[in-house]
Amino acid sequence: MEKKMSDRERFPAYFVEQNIDRRKCERVVPMKVLVIGMLRTGTLTMQTVLNELGYGPCYHMRSSFGNPTDCDMWREALDAKFQNRGRKYTKKDWDQLLGHCQAIADVPPAAFIPELHEAYPDAKVIIIQRDPEEWYASCRRTVMNFISSKQMPILFLLDRYLARRMVPMMSLLFSSLFGTETKDPVKMKENWIRGYNTAYEEVRRVVPPEKRLEYSLGQGWEPLCEFLGTKVPDKPFPHENDLSAFEDGIKVFIKRMWIRAAKLNAPYAIAALGIGLAWWWYQ
């Protein structure tokens, strides 16, 4: 019988806890690949693929979960680009935030492909896209359920390590890309699909056809490796983060935040209990 994988083995990114101040960092490896792919377009698969092909580390939104101070920098960059608040990021800023990576995939990086293309003109650009209707349906079943979870406001208050940084960053990211939140399901769908299409149109305006690859995960290794100039691996093409895996991963992720919140707040709970017992004793 095949041994069941542990949560740590299945979702290692959710068990990383770092506190690296990226503002003190600089580029240590060249940026080689920029993947424009919105959430739920196969970006986790692309991260796995690029790491396998030697372009790692590849930055993904999950990377920020392991080093939550990254969320503060992404909020700065989002504010500057989409809200006209603060200074727009330059190559120096991108080198600080992403200097340890040779590739990027997923949002928030995919929201800045024109800026990253300007900063790293020699990096190859790969566009992965799926049918907008299918994409939106996938987001409704996964990401939207996660960000609208009733647990998030509580974790925001209790988990000052990650949730207090992650929740505002994700809220700003989605409002910047897809407009303000609305309870009208028709309007919400229109906003998300419009933002989705706009992001890809922006990239195609900036990056000429000869410098980008329009790619579908179903095409497998060959066109990707040909574009990158790498050898085709002798192994099946991976497929990560389907609906079932996403749901399992979110359960692990939220559980990890609750455990961390309990540890962070235990001293305050013990102190409150002590004060309560002391008050009761002297009554």
Using DSSP's 3-state secondary structure scheme, residue 127 falls into: strand
Dihedral (Cα; 161, 163, 167, 170), 10-degree rounding: 70
281: which residues sit within 8 A by CB, 6+ positions away? none
Tens-place pLDDT, residues 181-239: 788 889 999 999 999 999 999 999 999 998 899 999 999 999 999 999 999 999 999 99
Q: Which amino acid is at 253?
A: F
Q: What is the pLDDT of residue 251?
A: 93
Residues belonging to the chain: 283
| Residue 102 to residue 118: CA distance in whole angstroms | 16
CB atoms within 10 A of CB 133: 10
Nearest to 71 by CA among 117, 118, 115, 18: 18
Please tell me what DSSP assigns to residue 210: G
Q: Is the pLDDT of residue 56 over 80?
A: yes
The two tokens of residue 79 are 């504010």
Higher pLDDT pick, 279 / 97: 97
Q: What is the pLDDT of residue 168?
A: 94
* Residue ranges of E strands in the chain: 33-36, 58-59, 103-104, 124-128, 212-215
Band of pLDDT at residue 180, cut at 50, 70 and 90: confident
Q: Is the pLDDT of residue 269 over 70?
A: no
Tens-place pLDDT, residues 92-111: 999 999 999 999 999 999 99
Q: Is the pLDDT of residue 272 over 60?
A: no
178: which residues sit within 8 A by CB, 6+ positions away? 191, 192, 194, 195, 196
pLDDT > 70: what percent of the chain?
94
| Residue 110 to residue 97: CA distance in whole angstroms | 14
CB atoms within 10 A of CB 251: 12
Range in 13-22, 77-86, 139-148, 193-202 with the lowest mean pLDDT: 139-148
The CA radius of gyration of the chain, in Å to the nearest whole number, is: 21
Q: What is the pLDDT of residue 163?
A: 93
Band of pLDDT at residue 275, cut at 50, 70 and 90: low
| Residue 263 to residue 83: CA distance in whole angstroms | 36
Band of pLDDT at residue 281, cut at 50, 70 and 90: low
Q: What is the pLDDT of residue 266?
A: 76
Residue pointed to by tokens 């995960």: 217
